[in-house]
Structure 1
Amino acid sequence: MSLYIKLKYQFAMFAKPFIFLLTFMLTIANFVFLLIPASLVFFPLYIIFNDFFAKAFWDIFLLFVSMICVFTLLYMFFDMLFGFTAKFLNRRARHISIMTAIPRQQEIMDSFQWLRSKFGVENTRLLIDTDGEVINAYAIGGSNNQTVTLTLGLIFEIHRRYKDDEELYVRAIQGIMGHELSHLVNKDFLPGLLTASSYTINHYVANMMRIFLLILANVLLFIPFIGWYIKVFIYKTYNFVTWFCGLFLRWVYMPVHGFLMKWFGRSIEYRCDRDSANVVGGYSMVLGLAALGKGSYFSIFSTHPRTKSRIKRVENIRNRGADIRPSVLNSVANGISLFTIVFVMYATTFSIDWENLERNYIKEVYIPTAIKINNIKQKWYDFYYN
């Protein structure tokens, strides 16, 4: 292997921190776009209290974003311990031992057992997703639960391609299983877990925010004359800004994010192809890729480059039966990735001016607001009863 190829092979390790950072930035973007509509609902308060509310608004906004990010990382930690995402993804999956309809079932099971030993992940299970339409494969792991999942659609598509020579069918399945085990042993699923955690927290926060605004709008109905108009303003503002932010996120931010993820993720896919080829041979990996068409198969936790370029990189690798273990660089990359996320979150929290928050919000906004509200209540009480 030339020095150039070795360096390109190791670039997968250095791409990881960037992928983690991009994923975390997407997490923050989701939360920011979630909080903006709710923040603009309180626009009348900016007018009433002039610069008092504005002084503390940015710090309050950062505080909420930081808190949500902390909850996301905590959820991700518990997800790795208890496997919430893995259970959800594998809700229709069954262990291969009970899927007797799979062609050459026993050979695939024996191959997977051998591959587990080569990748050093003996406690990994092979599951079959009963979805016969989707061509998909993914690996996900936690503290006590590591799985490689293949869909029936993927298995049947490969079998259809090599039905005249089932030996090729088994070798193609071996190549794909080796590829997914490389993802597993190198912890490539972690950015995917972070994304899943952020969407889960985002869902709960959005629901709580809608409930809060609904309660607030109905309470404001009790204000004579203008209560109904305030409620309509809250609904219209929240719905319009939510729609606009969703549009921006979908058509502007996500395409840029997706392009960068594909660019960095390419090297990781090449590394997984090479790891699999070093164990089962380049020909097996080529068979697996060639059976699935131009775009390769879809994987939940990664973005795959074109099949043609992947085949070129592994077709000449001989079957070495190599033992694959995560390199020191990979462990360092994972450590740098987690450190980067913690650092960004800490920097966000550190940028909050706590003294300014206390001075401008509690002393100059909260207390005066309470006094003004009490005065308004007293005026309406005097108006009705005197």
Structure 2
Amino acid sequence: MKTKFFILISVLFLTSLITGCLTTSIGPKFTHAVTPESGKAVIYVYRQRGVMTATTMPGVKVNDIEVVETLPEIAFFSLSVDPGQYTFTPKLFGIFKTTEATVNAQPGEVYFVRLKVSMGSLEFDLMNRDEAMAYMATCHLLDSKYYRDPRVISGQRVSSMPVAPVRSNEIATVQAQTEVQQVPAIPVEEKAPAPVSSRPVAVKDQKARLYVDANPSNARIRIMNIAPVFEQGLSLDQGRYDLEVSAAGYKSHREWVTLEKGEMKNLQVLLEPMNKPAPVAEQPAVKEQAVVVSSLTAEQKANVSEAFSAEEQRYARMLQNGSLTEIRDAAKNIYHRHYNNSYLAGIAEQTLLKHYSADASNIQIDAMAWLCRALGRTGDRRYSETLRTVAQNAPHRKLRGHAEKSLGQL
């Protein structure tokens, strides 16, 4: 009985190997990614080789519409689609645990989706471009007789996006995966690819960099759809990134950020407190009279204290009597929350004129720069002369640059 069972298992295994060999060489190998047509995106779907899964031939559905009848191992196809959301699911009879993948397609972008078939499960995953293209160098184009949707691209058009270079250790991994199925190994060039450090500088310039200025300053910043931990100036490929900013006691902020090749993007995110205090009734007439606080009498200053919220009064005290660190923090909050408050803007102007010519330290330059930015964001030309004075006479070049830039906003 045991002998018969062993023979049956051996026959099934050999059948899987033979079937895999017959079904993978169905078209030309992948050589490059096509360039999307104007206003379109391209999505590549490829199937990774598994263990004893060659006879499992699932079809592929996009948004519940069948696009290909079947997708054998190490085969691929591509779709030309309009911008939008596309969810990939398998089409197969039987009991399988399935994992879907969703692509938020943007015009001009190229995306890669991997189908991984294992015993009892079918998984779609959105993949990194370099990793996907390195593996797809071993894949063959799916025969057009299996196409079921006009959006499937026939053949491989000319493209400016070549296949990512495959390193020798990657080739060895692919060979180990393919030898069992008797697929010819990828030929290794005699000359090994150049190490990363020797690549031309122009390639590095194609990376985008992301900076996020979050308030509060201790907020946690994460990019949810990639593995690397966020750091200021993080080097990223062109594409869309799911950004999350969160902090204890604040409502989390989440948005999709699109980066272009070589772009340096600066984002400012202001988190909203969980328990936001009720807004204080506006009193425009009093605020306009309180622009220059130093010129008020003691009685007028007492009236000002009653007219403004505790938060506004605290920022005013920080600007007038605080340390450089407190001045910087108050200026940042004015820039983000109270840039249309003429009372605080007037105090910020006086503080800037008082401190901008002092000996330059990093915290002093930072604090004065935020005061310049706060005045520039008001859009009020009354502060033009002050910013022009700082731009011409500040002892530090960086501060002069901030003042000149803020002046241009008025």
The TM-score bracket by the shorter chain reads: under 0.3
Larger relative contact order (C-alpha < 8 A, sep ≥ 6)?
1
Name the larger-Rg structure. 2
- TM-score normalised according to structure 2 size: 0.20
Give the structure with the larger helix fraction: 1
- TM-score normalised according to structure 1 size: 0.20
